[in-house]
Amino acid sequence: MGSPQDFERGTEVSEAQIAVHWKEEEFVHPPAKFIGQANLANPDVVERFNEEHFPECYREYADMLTWNQYWHTTLDAGNPPFWKWFVGGKLNACYNCVDRNLAKYKNKAALIFVPEPEDEAVYALTYQELFVRVNEVAAVLRDFCGLKTGDRVTVHMPMIPELPITMLACARLGIIHSVVFGGFSGEAAGLRAADSGSRVMIYADGYYRNGKVVDHKPGADNAVEVAGQEGQKIDKILVWRRHQGQNLSTKPMVKGRDYFIDDVLKDFKGCRVDPVAMDAEAPLFLMYTSGTTGKPKGCQHRTGGYLAYVTGTAKYYQDIHPEDVYWCMADIGWITGHSYIVYGPLALAGTSVLYEGVPTYPDAGRPWRIAEQLDVNIFHTSPTAIRMLRKAGPDEPKKYKYHFKHMTTVGEPIEPEAWRWYYDVVGKREAVIVDTWWQTENGGFLCSTKPALNPMKPGSAGPPVLGIFPMIYDEQGNEVPAGSGRAGNICIRNPWPGIMQTVWKDNNRFVSQYYQKYCKDRNSKDWRDWPYFAADGAVLAADGYYRILGRVDDVINVAGHRLGTKELESACLTLTDVAEAAVVPVVDEIKGRVPEVYVSLKAGVSDGERVGRQVVSTLETIIGKIARPKAVHIVPDLPKTRSGKIMRRVLAAISNTMDTGDVTTLANPDVVEQIRQQIQGKGPVITKEGPEDVKRFGENE
Measure Cα distances from 23 to 63, 187, 421, 541 in Å.
41, 44, 17, 11
State the minimum distance, in angstroms, from the CB of residue 550 to ligand WTA: 5
State the minimum distance, in angstroms, from the CB of residue 598 to ligand WTA: 23
State the minimum distance, in angstroms, from the CB of residue 455 to ligand WTA: 17
State the minimum distance, in angstroms, from the CB of residue 534 to ligand WTA: 6
Tell me the per-residue interface mask from 460 to 479 with ligand WTA, x by CB under 6 A, - otherwise: -x------------------
Measure Cα distances from 682 to 441, 444, 629, 674, 675 in Å.
41, 45, 18, 11, 10
State the minimum distance, in angstroms, from the CB of residue 142 to ligand WTA: 32
CB atoms inside a 10 Å sphere around CB 6 = 16
Q: How large is the angle between the packed helices 669-676 and 648-655, nearest 10 degrees?
A: 20
Q: Which of 224, 234, 335, 694 binds ligand WTA (CB under 6 A)?
A: 335
413 binds ligand WTA (CB under 6 A): yes
Judge whether 460 and 435 are in contact, CB under 8 Å.
yes
Q: Which helix (H) or strand (E) holds 574?
A: none
Nearest by Cα to 287 from 96, 585, 561: 561
The DSSP code sequence of 115-178 is -SSTTSPPEEEEHHHHHHHHHHHHHIIIIIS---TT-EEEEEE-SSTHHHHHHHHHHHHT-EEE
326 binds ligand WTA (CB under 6 A): no
CA terminus-to-terminus distance, the chain: 30
State the minimum distance, in angstroms, from the CB of residue 419 to ligand WTA: 11
Instruction: Closer to ligand WTA by CB, 275 or 344: give it.
Output: 344
State the minimum distance, in angstroms, from the CB of residue 383 to ligand WTA: 8
Q: Which of 183, 206, 411, 585 binds ligand WTA (CB under 6 A)?
A: 411
Phi-psi region of 124 (alpha: psi -120 to 50; beta: other; left: phi over 0): beta
Instruction: Closer to ligand WTA by CB, 155 or 559: give it.
Output: 559
Q: Which of 439, 502, 513, 678 binds ligand WTA (CB under 6 A)?
A: 439
Instruction: Closer to ligand WTA by CB, 165 or 472: give it.
Output: 472
Nearest by Cα to 433 from 23, 43, 414: 414
Q: Which helix (H) or strand (E) holds 20?
A: none
State the minimum distance, in angstroms, from the CB of residue 334 to ligand WTA: 6
d(CA 362, CA 115): 12
440 binds ligand WTA (CB under 6 A): yes
d(CA 12, CA 321): 41
Instruction: Closer to ligand WTA by CB, 282 or 535: give it.
Output: 535
Instruction: Closer to ligand WTA by CB, 315 or 551: give it.
Output: 551
Nearest by Cα to 320 from 107, 108, 500: 108
Instruction: Closer to ligand WTA by CB, 249 or 557: give it.
Output: 557
State the minimum distance, in angstroms, from the CB of residue 96 to ligand WTA: 22
Instruction: Closer to ligand WTA by CB, 21 or 212: give it.
Output: 21
Reduced to 3 states, what is the DSSP secondary structure of residue 417?
helix
Instruction: Closer to ligand WTA by CB, 304 or 411: give it.
Output: 411
Site size with ligand WTA, rule: CB under 6 A = 21
384 binds ligand WTA (CB under 6 A): no
The DSSP code sequence of 578-641 is EEEEEEEEEEETTTEEEEEEEEEEPTT---HHHHHHHHHHHHHHHTBGGG--SEEEE-S---B-
380 binds ligand WTA (CB under 6 A): no
Q: Which of 11, 185, 351, 436 binds ligand WTA (CB under 6 A)?
A: 436
410 binds ligand WTA (CB under 6 A): yes
* Sequence-distant (≥ 6) Cβ neighbours of residue 103 within 8 angstroms: none
Instruction: Closer to ligand WTA by CB, 153 or 410: give it.
Output: 410
Instruction: Closer to ligand WTA by CB, 289 or 655: give it.
Output: 289
d(CA 270, CA 209): 33
SS3 content of the chain, % helix, strand, coil (to 5): 35, 25, 45
Instruction: Closer to ligand WTA by CB, 361 or 437: give it.
Output: 437
Half-sphere exposure of 17 (CA within 13 A, CB side): 17
State the minimum distance, in angstroms, from the CB of residue 535 to ligand WTA: 6
Judge whether 282 and 302 are in contact, CB under 8 Å.
yes
State the minimum distance, in angstroms, from the CB of residue 292 to ligand WTA: 12
289 binds ligand WTA (CB under 6 A): yes
Q: Which of 303, 557, 660, 678 binds ligand WTA (CB under 6 A)?
A: 557
Judge whether 41 and 35 are in contact, CB under 8 Å.
yes
State the minimum distance, in angstroms, from the CB of residue 487 to ligand WTA: 13
d(CA 520, CA 499): 21
Q: Quote the radius of gyration of the chain (alpha carbons, Å).
A: 24
Q: Which amino acid is located at 140 in the chain?
A: V
Q: Which of 437, 496, 514, 598 binds ligand WTA (CB under 6 A)?
A: 437
> Minimal CB distance to ligand WTA: which residue?
440
686 binds ligand WTA (CB under 6 A): no
Instruction: Closer to ligand WTA by CB, 115 or 451: give it.
Output: 451
d(CA 667, CA 419): 44
Measure Cα distances from 239 to 153, 154, 201 in Å.
13, 12, 9
Instruction: Closer to ligand WTA by CB, 273 or 299: give it.
Output: 299
Nearest by Cα to 205 from 277, 253, 271: 253
412 binds ligand WTA (CB under 6 A): yes
Instruction: Closer to ligand WTA by CB, 174 or 537: give it.
Output: 537
492 binds ligand WTA (CB under 6 A): no
State the minimum distance, in angstroms, from the CB of residue 475 to ligand WTA: 18
Judge whether 182 and 162 are in contact, CB under 8 Å.
no
Instruction: Closer to ligand WTA by CB, 282 or 410: give it.
Output: 410
Phi-psi region of 326 (alpha: psi -120 to 50; beta: other; left: phi over 0): beta
Q: Which of 17, 126, 336, 454 binds ligand WTA (CB under 6 A)?
A: 336
Instruction: Closer to ligand WTA by CB, 74 or 436: give it.
Output: 436
Interactions with ligand WTA, residue window 246-275 (CB under 6 A): none
Judge whether 88 and 271 are in contact, CB under 8 Å.
no
Instruction: Closer to ligand WTA by CB, 307 or 552: give it.
Output: 552
Tell me the per-residue interface mask from 562 to 581 with ligand WTA, x by CB under 6 A, - otherwise: x-------------------
328 binds ligand WTA (CB under 6 A): no
166 binds ligand WTA (CB under 6 A): no
State the minimum distance, in angstroms, from the CB of residue 327 to ligand WTA: 17
State the minimum distance, in angstroms, from the CB of residue 694 to ligand WTA: 20
435 binds ligand WTA (CB under 6 A): yes
Judge whether 73 and 497 are in contact, CB under 8 Å.
no
* Sequence-distant (≥ 6) Cβ neighbours of residue 39 within 8 angstroms: 315, 316, 319, 320, 321
CB atoms inside a 10 Å sphere around CB 374 = 19
The stretch among 164-172, 330-338, 373-381, 510-518 that binds ligand WTA (CB under 6 A) is 330-338
Interactions with ligand WTA, residue window 517-556 (CB under 6 A): 536, 548, 550-551
Instruction: Closer to ligand WTA by CB, 158 or 462: give it.
Output: 462
d(CA 375, CA 637): 57
Q: Which residues bind ligand WTA (CB under 6 A)?
A: 289, 334-336, 410-413, 435-440, 461, 536, 548, 550-551, 557, 562
